[in-house]
């Protein structure tokens, strides 16, 4: 099975086009102002309009209120909601029902207790993402170029599809897939020249490495 790839934090037409042309399965757009990759709903809509239907468009938010989620669902042109904050199980169920869109929940991993928490979210989300826990002084929960011990999830059986994230690059993604057993991977900072500035060559290199693993 070929590994699926999500390129997240896209902010430009060139980056979107490079991701699609290189074979990305999912593309992500950030709606979280503290992030250097954050977009307005209108700007995101202009980018999602460039994405063909066979590529899933994902909206990433962090503990967002209904006003923002209403706007994203109505006008951003996305196919899936990704929640990367401290959203409880009840909130995931609520938004999944409210918008009729599939939901991905990111779970920060640093120890076995976090893996247990991930299993709980599998009961309410359509897909899971496993990412590294951010530093204590971080202003955002992801996109920090940090990885976690992939052995923590290796060999685990999950009831829902899951994506590996955190500190992945074109150079290490094949090793990460082999160590974790991931069948889908996510990258943002690992293909950037600067926060929010994607490098098309790195995007192509990442996708080639992941799909060749």
Number of domains in the chain: 1
pLDDT at 1: 74
- Give the pLDDT score at 78: 98
Q: Domain of 126: which CATH number?
A: 3.20.20.70
Q: What is the mean pLDDT of residues 200-208?
A: 98
Residue 9: CB partners within 8 Å, gap ≥ 6?
Answer: 28, 29, 30, 35, 37, 60, 143, 188, 189, 192, 196, 198
Model pLDDT, residue 212:
94
Contact 90, 112 (CB under 8 A): no
Query: Residue range 16-22: average pLDDT?
Result: 98
Look at the chain and count its residues: 213
**From 8, 43, 137, 193, active-site residue:** 8
Q: Is 97 a catalytic residue?
A: no
The residue segments making up the domain with residue 124 are 4-211
Direct distance between the N- and C-terminal alpha carbons of the chain, in angstroms, rounded to an integer:
10
Q: Is the pLDDT of residue 179 over 80?
A: yes
> Which position among 131, 137, 149, 193 bears the catalytic label?
131
Q: Tens of pLDDT along 136-165?
A: 555 555 455 678 899 999 989 999 999 999
Coil, strand or helix at 43 = helix
82 three-class SS: strand
Local confidence band at 135 (pLDDT 50, 70, 90 cut-offs): low
How confident is the model at residue 213, as a pLDDT? 86
CA distance linking residue 209 with residue 202, whole number of Å: 10
131 has catalytic annotation: yes
Do 166 and 142 meet the contact criterion of CB atoms below 8 Å apart?
Answer: yes
b/e code 27-44 from CB counts within 10 Å (16+ = b): bbbbbbeebbbbbebeeb
Q: How many CB atoms lie within 10 A of CB 74?
A: 11
Which tens digits make up the pLDDT trace of 26-77? 999 999 999 999 999 999 999 999 999 999 999 999 999 999 999 999 999 9
Residues 89-133: pLDDT tens digits?
Answer: 999 999 999 999 999 999 999 899 999 999 999 999 999 999 987
């Amino acid at each position: 099975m070929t590994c699926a790839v999500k390129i997240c934090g896209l902010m430009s037409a060139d980056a979107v086009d490079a991701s699609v042309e290189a074979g990305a399965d999912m593309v992500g757009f950030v709606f979280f102002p503290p992030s250097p990759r954050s977009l307005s709903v209108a700007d995101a809509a202009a980018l999602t309009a460039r994405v063909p239907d066979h590529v899933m468009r994902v909206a990433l938010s962090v503990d967002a209120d209904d006003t923002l989620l209403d706007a994203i669902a109505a006008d951003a042109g996305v196919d899936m909601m990704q929640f990367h904050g401290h959203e409880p199980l009840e909130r995931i169920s609520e938004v999944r029902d409210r918008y009729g869109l599939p939901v991905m929940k990111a779970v920060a991993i640093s120890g076995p207790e976090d893996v247990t928490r991930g299993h709980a979210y599998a009961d309410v989300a359509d897909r899971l993402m496993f990412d590294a826990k951010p530093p204590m002084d971080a202003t955002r929960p992801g996109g920090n170029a940090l990885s976690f011990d992939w052995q923590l999830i290796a060999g685990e059986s999950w009831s829902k599809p899951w994506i590996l994230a955190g500190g992945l690059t074109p150079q290490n993604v094949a090793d990460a897939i082999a160590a974790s057993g991931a069948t889908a991977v996510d990258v943002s900072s690992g293909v950037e020249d600067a926060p929010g500035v994607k490098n098309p060559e790195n995007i192509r290199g990442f996708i080639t490495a992941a799909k060749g693993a």
